[in-house]
A and B are shown apart, each in its own frame.
Chain A
């Protein structure tokens, strides 16, 4: 192997300029691939801020309005969820692990002179895991809050900072009393605001929310945590069965689909990952097409090289070189050119990704009411680097194979007769 490399090194030295120019095309192709995939990753990271989270196996059920009269119930009658519906979900215990209701309303929360509008969720403590609430300081609503109807609240860090008059040290608000409407609540915890969420989310005990609601203690949402629903079909089947049972339970037409609305996070997530996979593939294809011109370039140069060296190959053959060793010489040379310059391209591409991440990746776009990250964590992982390396080796081999075959098949007398 060492012999082969020193053979190739001595030939590469012959044509420095040509080798460099060819290599540039390969480097360029790899730079494009790395930057495309890096920014593509950035875009996807920004789109799906919690891409690292495991998939949420939850369905959110919202009440709707009946679309047809049935058994004395008129069209346009409201579906009302209450606590009995939670217990009712037990009949689906085969699929549903847990069900919990939440009461939701918008209100103004204020502290001193500062005030802002927030969505207030009256929740069961268990919802924390289901909804992926991330506590940054303090704690979430707990069971004793629920039992005591405590006026305890968890607000998000953005809201906390705003209430403190744009003080970044939001933990100062912990233990302080803030007003929800005009009822004072003690801040027991602060959660991480969801990026790219329009507005703020606050959590209070479900039981407390029930007492605050004047228009009746209807549930705004039932969250179902399920398992064993892998496919889209299985999910749809389950959703329809649940809807029918719910309709029957509430005296609506079992086939009325408008009485409840469902949002399946699991399927949503699946579709999102699918879209991301497609996008990734598209970026790879784009990058590969760019690289292809580099490969064609290498192949072309190797063809010229073979033509120029045909006399030399004739000498080698006369001295005992087998076709396979001539072939190896050319293919390995091609792989070395592609791999070497491809590696340079990879390093430059990664540097470009790093630069992009530090510039457009760390400055959110200001949209007035909110800040939006278009790119986040631009860059490629080790896996992409590995894939790109493999791609290069394959590309180099492909680029070398036709010229190598041409060089290997030429008969020694013809090769010796060829012009030097």
Chain B
């Protein structure tokens, strides 16, 4: 089992304590392509942050590859994120003053990979995502779809165990959204990558093989979706 969550709880203590995750139990196997779906306020972003070791949880157990993720120092958490997780964000989160290839190199930089090797590896992924001619361009010279491809290349370059995609199509038009989802699907099928997509769009979720519904901090229905017919959207290429 790649990912195991047992009774994970999370409360935000503010002026009004907010119990966001109320005992999440979840298992995801290596090579799965799943989506976590829920409305805003359902706790899906919090769950994503915990899965991505960007945030900690109050009680329960979270294991990646059997390794307990609990009470980590910032440095250790950074190291785990770097080695085990690749992030794809809604807003791409590319660094504006770095070129496409430099952005892709960044996770390798934090692994201490040498300059040349880093560049070669980054170029390899840039090319695989069809951005060879754009490697020297800055993010603000690229379209949304291209930026997201750079972000995907950056997520893949360290060969992580898990790809976490947070609303990967949220800022894209429907045509590009389809392209990106097709790309993720292909990566899952061809490279056997474990991909978790967090979304509120059923069309996006429909691309995945399993849809985990989350509502009010509790896992609801878990829908097997091998046939990709859970919703009207997506089946005929219409996402939005």
Interface residue ranges, A against B (CB under 8 Å): 2-3, 10-11, 13-14, 311-312, 314-325, 411-413, 416
Contact = CB atoms under 8 A, between A and B. Distances in A.
Contacts of B154: 319
B75 interface: yes
Nearest to A13: B97
Contact of A2 (B78, B94, B115): B115
Interface of B: 49, 52, 54-55, 74-75, 78-79, 81-83, 87, 89, 93-98, 106-107, 109-111, 115, 154, 158
A140 B154 CA distance: 86
Contacts of B83: 320
Instruction: Name which of A3, A325, A412 has the most chain B CB atoms within 10 A of its CB.
Output: A412
A324 B81 contact: no
Instruction: Name which of B54, B96, B106 has the most chain A CB atoms within 10 A of its CB.
Output: B54
B74 A10 contact: no
Contacts of A316: 95, 106, 110
A320 B78 contact: yes
Contacts of A2: 115
Interface SS of chain A: helix, strand, loop or mixed? helix
A2 to B, nearest CB: 7
Instruction: Name which of B54, B55, B75, B78 has the most chain A CB atoms within 10 A of its CB.
Output: B78
B115 A3 contact: yes
Nearest to B78: A322
A234 to B, nearest CB: 59
A314 B106 CA distance: 13
A315 B96 CA distance: 11
20 contacts: A3-B109, A3-B115, A311-B93, A312-B96, A315-B93, A315-B94, A317-B78, A318-B81, A319-B106, A319-B107, A319-B110, A320-B79, A321-B110, A323-B78, A325-B110, A413-B49, A413-B54, A416-B54, A416-B89, A416-B93
Nearest to A317: B78
Contacts of B110: 316, 319-322, 325
Nearest to B87: A318
A327 B106 CA distance: 17
Nearest to A409: B74
A320 B110 CA distance: 6
A12 to B, nearest CB: 10
A1 to B, nearest CB: 11
B83 to A, nearest CB: 8
Contacts of B109: 3
Given A312-B95, A320-B110, 8 more contacts: A3-B115, A11-B97, A311-B93, A318-B54, A320-B81, A320-B82, A321-B78, A324-B75
Contacts of A416: 54, 89, 93
A318 to B, nearest CB: 5
Contact of A323 (B49, B75, B82, B111): B75
A325 B82 CA distance: 13
A14 B97 contact: yes
Instruction: Name which of B98, B107, B109 has the most chain A CB atoms within 10 A of its CB.
Output: B109
A312 B102 CA distance: 14
A325 B74 CA distance: 12
